[in-house]
Structure 1
């Protein structure tokens, strides 16, 4: 049985406070799975006043766009390289392959260069300068790194777009649902966690092809690429909007006033993908709303840079 280091409540609450100044971060992303990861990658890279992006990790996914987690991870890895070809700002930021499968059991990690790099990068972090691990896909890579070296709990803060709002009738959301063992590990191990739910919070981040055409398309090569991915995501854009969930996790680190949040006890995740609650559990920070306009205004301005 794995023993996790336990932060004191004072240490945990300090880590869960919104960071002041510029933060070091890595981005763990299933980039090929949807069209929103591409926006999140660009948003992070174009926010150097707040974010120092140190690495990208390709996360596994399995749906109609992949034949399995390994294929999804490889496609996400290649998609990160494609985005980099449109963004000179990404030059010099390493991209690592992630897990080839989901966690096979509650305490069984999956080796990957992403997990190994996260351990090395986190353990090299000064105690007063935690590494922010922004995850916008299945949390397999991050959970594997924690299982590989539990001491990184003392060195990192995880910001995860995962699950649905705590009042939602279920939490069978794609990022959380894919790897229940990894999801439970993140919620149970005591790592400082900012949870950004999809339905009920990030679901406010809707935009349209017309808006993307007006404010993104002419923002250089990456703007044209983002526009094309959005245009190709639907056959008919009449009266159609699409949620760009993943930018929420980036926006939280830029300005938490745009994402109202509170401290709550870490919820319990059932095998039926429902939340339950125990007031004796450790605290996490929980986002319960997103001011949609503030986030998109910031994103659109930065893409023009």
Structure 2
């Protein structure tokens, strides 16, 4: 290529790359997302919430605060969860921007005795909207009570929603079995019936991030220390992590939390898999998954192969480097605004 043509092409490309972000404001959003998490429990959900709220590629349609297992809970976990959401959004100067609702305070006792909740009704309304063009993703970082109640009350939402779930035991041969192999994974144990309804009965497409994958999302305590000194949001998030040992100490039978130099921000893949994707191929290409028929989910959280099951993704690796670089950059930009 002639030097003059090359220089001209380079200048044209540079000009295109220099277009300010607001010039792309008319691009369609990737998706609508419903965020569902036990925001009053492990604070990893609060990091995910703040990160998601700063991503421009998705529209947050609804935020659901969900319950914890009885052993860990207060009896009003869902209400506590939305209070935590309110604190984060107030710090971020985003109070009043989103629809926030408390989910059910108890798990589903049996499929036949289930009753819709206020949150499940809101989920159905969002899924059945005819005035929205973007696909709907249900980003869940804890139990699945309210989505299961929504599907049981209105099965037509199954073809109108995709579930991205942080939860479930490692699939055999896919990764490390975890610290307590053979035991039900924590998020599954919050509401086993709900998880079984969605795996075994519903037609909802599932992208699962099981325990071996989400436990890879390690954020160092040095990074956390730096974050805590950078902004009011960083200080708040660090304070929630710092409160974990005291919180666990109040739970009978739970051993003391060991001192380590990293913390698992296990809910952050919800951001990676929904928002951090390339424009020409809007799929989380830097993460890895296995495609398999959705298995039957058993009472103890293990899986039974089911050849005719609908296809599902089981993520084996999530790009933690991209996730946390982006999260920290967005937090810095927020504090500089």
Aligned with residue 65 of structure 2, among 55, 58, 61: 58
Give structure 1 stretches of 5+ with no counterpart. 1-19
Q: Residue 285 of structure 1: CA displacement?
A: 1.5
Alpha-carbon distance in structure 2 between the residues aligned to 1:125 and 1:157: 17
Q: Residue 224 of structure 1: CA displacement?
A: 1.6
Aligned with residue 266 of structure 1, among 294, 297, 310: 294
Distance change (3 Å), C-alpha of 1:149 and 1:95: same
Q: Residue 208 of structure 1: CA displacement?
A: 2.5
Alpha-carbon distance in structure 2 between the residues aligned to 1:25 and 1:304: 24
1:243 aligns with 2:264: yes
Maintained 8 Å contact 1:259/1:291? yes
Alpha-carbon distance in structure 1 between the residues aligned to 2:93 and 2:68: 27
Distance change (3 Å), C-alpha of 1:30 and 1:159: same
1:233 corresponds in structure 2 to 244
Tell me the number of residue pairs that the alignment of Structure 1 and Structure 2 aligns. 281
After superposition, where does 1:1-305 map in structure 2 within 5 Å? 22-48=30-56, 50-68=57-75, 71-125=76-130, 129-167=134-172, 168=177, 169-170=181-182, 172-188=184-200, 189-198=202-211, 200-214=212-226, 216-234=227-245, 239-253=260-274, 254-255=276-277, 256-305=284-333
Secondary structure of the equivalent of 1:195?
Answer: strand
Maintained 8 Å contact 2:169/2:302? no
Maintained 8 Å contact 2:67/2:73? no
**Offset from partner CA, 1:43-62 (integer Å, 9 cap, x none):** 110111x2111210011112
Maintained 8 Å contact 1:30/1:73? yes
Alpha-carbon distance in structure 2 between the residues aligned to 1:212 and 1:141: 32
Distance change (3 Å), C-alpha of 1:63 and 1:205: farther
Rg larger for: 2
Maintained 8 Å contact 1:136/1:161? yes
RMSD: 2.1
Alpha-carbon distance in structure 2 between the residues aligned to 1:289 and 1:117: 32
Length-normalised TM-score, structure 1 = 0.85
Length-normalised TM-score, structure 2 = 0.77
Distance change (3 Å), C-alpha of 1:171 and 1:258: farther
Distance change (3 Å), C-alpha of 1:237 and 1:77: same
